[in-house]
Amino acid sequence: MGDNQNLLAEQRRALILEEVRRRGGARVGELTRQLNVSDMTVRRDLDVLARQGSLEKVHGGAVPPAEPSTHEPGFEAKSALELSAKADIARAAAAMARPGSAIALSGGTTTYALAQQLVEVPDLTVVTNSVRVADIFHAAQGSTDDGGRAPASRRTGAATVVLTGGVRTPSDSLVGPVADAAIRSLHFDVLFLGVHGISAEAGLSTPNLAEAETNRRFVASARRVVVVADHTKWGTVGLSSFASLEEVDALVTDGGLPDAARAEIREQLPELVVAGAAEGGRASGNDRRKAD
C-alpha cells in the first residue's frame, strides 16, 4: 500500500476494507506496516468499520462480515458475482461431460453458466431442478418456428431435458417432496452440483432446508459428484449440510482459491481442477490435480 501516513481516515479505512475483502482477512500488525500508522490508529479504524457492519473484528485483526446461515440471495443477486470465475469454471467442467451420458445439474448461477457450455455436448440426457438451466437448453433447441405457431424440429444431438417438479426457491431451484421423488428413481453418470458453501468441517451446505434434502437425493443418485464453486464459496457455511467432502469426487473452482485452501482440498478430494488464469493475470491451463 506504500507510505500512507498522511491519508485521510476515510481513505485509510477504504484500503483496510479492500485488503480484508481481497485476502479474506487481515491482521493488525500487517495493516500497520502497510499503512505506516500505529497499532492504535488501525484498531480505531477497525472499530469504526465494525460498527458500520463492513467487517468483523477478531482476535488480532479483522475478517469480512459473515452472512447469517439462513440468508439465501436470489438468482439475480448471485448472477452478477464472480462472472469471469464462473465462466472459467463452466468451460473446465463442460469438458468432463461425455457425449451421450446422463447428467444432473443442480440449481445455481454456476451451473447456469455451465449449462451454456453443455448445449454443445451432443446427445446428453439432462436432469435438473433449475428452471433457469432448463431454459438454457430449451432456447438452444428452439421451441417454435414462424412466430410461435408450431413446434420447430429438434436440433440434431440436442439434449433431452427432464425438469423435476417442486416448490421454487429464491435461487429458482425446484425442491421438496415432488423433486425428491423424481430424483430418487433416476441414476446419473455425473452430477454437477452448485453449492452455497463448502468447507472441510461442514462439507457442502445451503441455507434452504428443503434444498438440502433435494441435493442429498442428487448426490445419492450419481455415480460421480462434481462440485462447481468459485473461490468465495470456500469457508462459507449455510444452515444445513447435505454432503461431506468424502462424497465429492471432484471440485472445479477458479484461481482465486488461496494456496492453503488448495492444499487442504487436495488432502480430502480425489480431484481438484483450478480453472482459468493464475493470480496476477498470467495465463495458465487448468490446474488439474488428482490424489495419489
What are the chain's domains? 9-63 (1.10.10.10), 75-290 (3.40.50.1360)
What's the pLDDT score for residue 232? 87
What's the pLDDT score for residue 23? 72
Count Cβ atoms within 10 A of the Cβ of residue 51 and give its class: 0-12 exposed, 13-18 middle, 19 or more buried: exposed
3-state helix, strand, coil in the chain (%, to 5): 40, 25, 35
Asked whether the CA dihedral 81, 18, 273, 207 is positive or negative, the reply is negative
Helices 28-35 and 39-51, packing angle to 10 deg: 110
* Of residues 132, 130, 137, the one with CA closest to residue 214: 130
Q: With cut-offs at 50, 70 and 90, classify the pLDDT of residue 141.
A: confident
| Rg of the chain (C-alpha set) | 22
Residues 13-33 pLDDT 10s:
988 988 887 777 788 999 999
Q: With cut-offs at 50, 70 and 90, classify the pLDDT of residue 112.
A: very high
Q: With cut-offs at 50, 70 and 90, classify the pLDDT of residue 60.
A: confident
Q: Could you tell me if 135 and 38 are in contact, meaning their C-beta atoms sit under 8 angstroms apart? A: no
- Tell me the three cell numbers of residue 184: 430418487
